Structure 1
Amino acid sequence: MQETGEIDAVAARVYRLRVIHPTDTVEQISARAGITPQETLEAESRLSALGLLRPSPSGGQVAVSPETAADTLLAPMEQDILQRRIAMAATRARLHALSGDYLEARSMRSAKSSIEIVQGTDNARAVIDDLVRTCSESLDALVPGSGLGEVAVRAAISNDREMLERGVKMRSLFQHSARKNRAQVRHVAVLTDAGAQVRSTTVLPSRMAIYDRSCAVLPLDPERGGAGAAVIRDPTVLNFLQQLFEHYWDRALDFSEEEQRDGPEPNEVERDVLLLMAAGKKDEAIAHQLGMSPRSVSRIVARLMERLGAESRFQAGARAALNGWLSDD
């Protein structure tokens, strides 16, 4: 049994015959088509439902052109779509009319307090979503812990790609433990392929995101302030937070770079750096002598001090000597 309105081979054959023989009876059409009268009636019913057949005053069925049938059948639908579009446009216009109020209120909020406390996870997420949407130049982020989970990664990838596509320079700093998180490793691969810079380090002080170097977001202490975020626009505090980010960034490894912190002895380059450190050389002098960049030297020094558990360059040199790392043997 065919559904009403379906055009199969039988219905198409009946339609053609009705175009040629509009005054034929059902029996005559059946004979011409080689089908039973019942099949003819069912086909004509489907064609009539689509507006392709109309009763003829002189008997029989008159075939209507597909274009005319489509105009008649779809006119109510098109009218409904038009009305919906008009309603959507009116709603959009009413919402857009509030844009000026929103921007004015937002600027007043920023001017009123350079450090804003946003209580509640949902409210904090709304603020962050707004910052992500309006970010146009840079995003520097510290992500402590073992990285994001599967759900968080899926949610982040879309926003990250959209930001990178519109030219935002993104730097993300994770802890080394995130390298063991498969979801996070996939996320990093997507970021780097899209042009982001990603590094990792041993310890990070807190989650932090700095948008366009003009606004930073820090999480509230759950034990003191509850869930939420601190939104910071104060230039002095922002400058400190940016320097804090650069401090950890300069001493971090590229996320894909092999970590060298568990080896019992330094490699050749690290030993050369240790010898010059023990001689009292600064990073710039070491870099010049070894033909390296000062940033690379700073990162090697930071890794060596971490491996030695040293809090100063002098202490690192002393412990390296006690370990026999500076001997010629």
Structure 2
Amino acid sequence: MYMMILDVPSITHNELVRRGFDSDYVKSTMPMFMRRGLVRQLAEGVWEAIPPNIALPAFAARLEEYASTIRSSTPALTRTYSRREGPKPDPSGYERLNSLDEIALATQRLLSSAGRNVHGLRNGSPYTRYLLGLPTDFHATALRNDQGEQVVGRVTLDTELLNDPGINEVLAARASTGEEHRFAASLPFSALVSERMAVIDIDGPGGVAMGLVIESSYAAAAVRRVAESAWRAASPWQVGSNRPPTVDARDHRILQLLAAGATDSTIARQLNISQRTVERRVRAVMDRLGADTRFQAGVLAGKAGLI
């Protein structure tokens, strides 16, 4: 109907009915079009379209503002939902999670009860992929507990995530909230852990999201030690870093990726250069450092303060 209105200088209720639209549908739809700023009323039962180059951007801006408001309200509303009947931990201290929604709710419950810091592991699990697909303003929103205090994350990510086309934008947004990141190869699972609770998520059979809530303080502490150990062994990472110590910017990025365990194809995609160029530069860097293997090159570069 909107396309039909755009096609004529003005249109009446009767004309829309003659063109096949139900009278009650016209009566309910035209007020909605007016509220959205798409048409204006010229007289009773007569309307004209507002130019789309004016109406549609304005309408889209209102929708974006509305969506942003909803997203920013989600953590508080989720906390309210989670508290509606009080916490009901499984008597054993463990609870299986069977969907993305259940993992998301458990994660929010963990953040609500967390102190000022959490540790995380992120491999290519379904929930991680879900997070990477969320809008940038979601990632740029600081995490807060139910006291309103900011919760800062220290997260180790699997190098396979460097292949995600949006990873740099996501990490830049999350870093703006104070979250820290490092990379390591072959992380076995994804997890978020606080002082008393852990949420683990994995890639289940057939790619189905599965997870586990741990509310046993001893078991949660064990998961935290795993996350802290992974962090210590991982390579620091700065998105878009162009720090030039004693190697040029490109070789510095190559060294970062080497230390994180990235493959030549991953490095090529990250730096937007050919794989052959990567292979040549990796060999040059290894020769310069006196390294026999790629891993040794990363270690030597770290000791030399090059990454």
TM-score by structure 2 length?
A: 0.46
TM-score by structure 1 length?
A: 0.44
- Higher normalized contact order (CA 8 Å, seq sep 6+, divided by chain length): 2
